[in-house]
Structures are given as C-alpha cells and as structure tokens.
Amino acid sequence: MVLLILKKRRKKPQDLGANIKPVFRVTNYKDFEGRHIEGSENLNMFPIEINWKEKVYVNDGKDWHQIIDFSFNNGLLNVAPGNYSVYIDQIPDVYEPLASQQVDVTAEKDKTVEAVFETKQKEEVIPAGHGEVNIRLQIDEYDNDYMGPGGSYIIKDKKTEMYLKKITLKTYTKLYESAIKNGEGKLTGVSFHRANMTILPVGEYTAEITTFDDSLTFESKVIHFKVEEK
C-alpha cells in the first residue's frame, strides 16, 4: 500500500502596498540604582508590552477594526495606501497614561510609516528627607524576599534606639529593569524586575531577624544600614 500525504500550502497574504509600524516607547527605564538604561528610550516595546490582539484598533477611514483583522507580521501592519488612525485602548497600569491614545498616519505606497506612542513608567515619589531601602534575606532554594515559614524582622533607629512599628512604615513595589545586549554589546531589550521597598527618614538603622525557620543557621541576625536621601 502506498500512502500519499498531501500538505495544504498556506496562502501568502496579499501585499496591500503599504505598512504601518506601531511603536510603543518608554522613556525612563532605569536599573535598581535609578540610573537610566541608555538607549532604552529608543526600544520599541510594541507588541511586547501591549495586549495588541484585544486592545489595539485601526480605523481605515470607514470604520474601526481590531488589528487582528489586518495582516500583522514582524511588527508591521500591512494596509492599502491611505489615511489611518491607530488607537490603543489600554496599556499596563505600571505606565503613565498616554498623552494621546490615538495616532493618525498616512500610509504611502511601498513605504513604512510609524505610529508612535510614548509614555513613562510610573515612579514612586519619595518625600524630602527620606530614602528607600530593600531589606531581604536570600536563602538558597527559597524565592526572593521569602524568609522561611513565619520569618520576620524588626527595624531599630540607631539614633533614638526606638523600634519602628512595621505597620506604620510606607512600603511599595519598585519596578526596575536590566539591559539585554547582543554579542556586539548593542542594547536589544530590557528584563523586568520587582523589589519590595521600605521608605524611611534619612538616618542609620539596624534590621534584626526575630523569627525564622529553625532549620536555618545564621552567621548574624542583625544588619546595619544607612538610609540616604534619594
């Protein structure tokens, strides 16, 4: 018996003659120390940071369509020459709202036009006379910031010798990035990270581990640190 297997050839989408390149730029990506990642303001984070299949629409002069109604490959939206509007309905809430959710462009034959959306990543405002600190205990085989079952610590002001009530301390989740580079050292992207931060008045402090997993052994249970104004 001879078995003949036929594969259906996928039809190549018709080239409509022009392209629109949606661009989503974030101008203030920073590392943990707050240093700007040079060149990151030129990275195109579309569609990486955008739910493009559900939250991006295109108007062809007649009606609004979801972007998936068009041919979208390699970051390019293939369209017929003409006037278009690109609309982003929603971006991740870690970013400041877009100055304009809609960008109007003219797509010309055999050319690519960019529809540029620009924003900043939200940043915590640190009050004057205060700084921030990330207190964490890293244990092998544990996730970051996990001190083991029931693990906790207390913070003591070195100047007043007073313990600070954790319930009164302001904390937040800090977003920061690290650079991704190719073999030639060129920036190709960023990796995203989070850290639990505590805001404290400028001064010197100690953090003391009070409860912990009994199976762990510590060289020291007290950490001395200094908070400087940001």
What are the pLDDT tens digits along the chain (230 aa)?
556 665 655 566 789 999 999 999 999 999 999 999 999 999 999 999 999 999 999 999 999 999 999 999 999 999 999 999 999 999 999 999 999 999 999 999 999 999 999 999 999 999 999 999 998 766 666 665 555 555 678 899 998 889 998 778 999 999 999 999 999 999 999 999 999 999 999 999 999 888 666 777 777 889 899 999 97
For the whole model, what pTM was predicted? 0.83
pLDDT (tens digit per residue) in 115-152: 999 999 999 999 999 999 998 766 666 665 555 555 67
What pLDDT score was predicted for residue 210?
Answer: 80
In whole angstroms, what is the distance from residue 103 CA to residue 58 CA? 10
Please give the C-alpha separations between residue 223 and each of 36, 49, 216, 219, in angstroms, as whole numbers: 29, 38, 17, 11
Instruction: Please report, in angstroms and rounded to a whole number, the separation of the first and last CA atoms in the chain.
Output: 78
Residue that has been written with the tokens 């002001």 in this structure: 157
Asked whether the beta carbons of 130 and 109 are under 8 A apart, the reply is no
What pLDDT score was predicted for residue 153?
Answer: 82
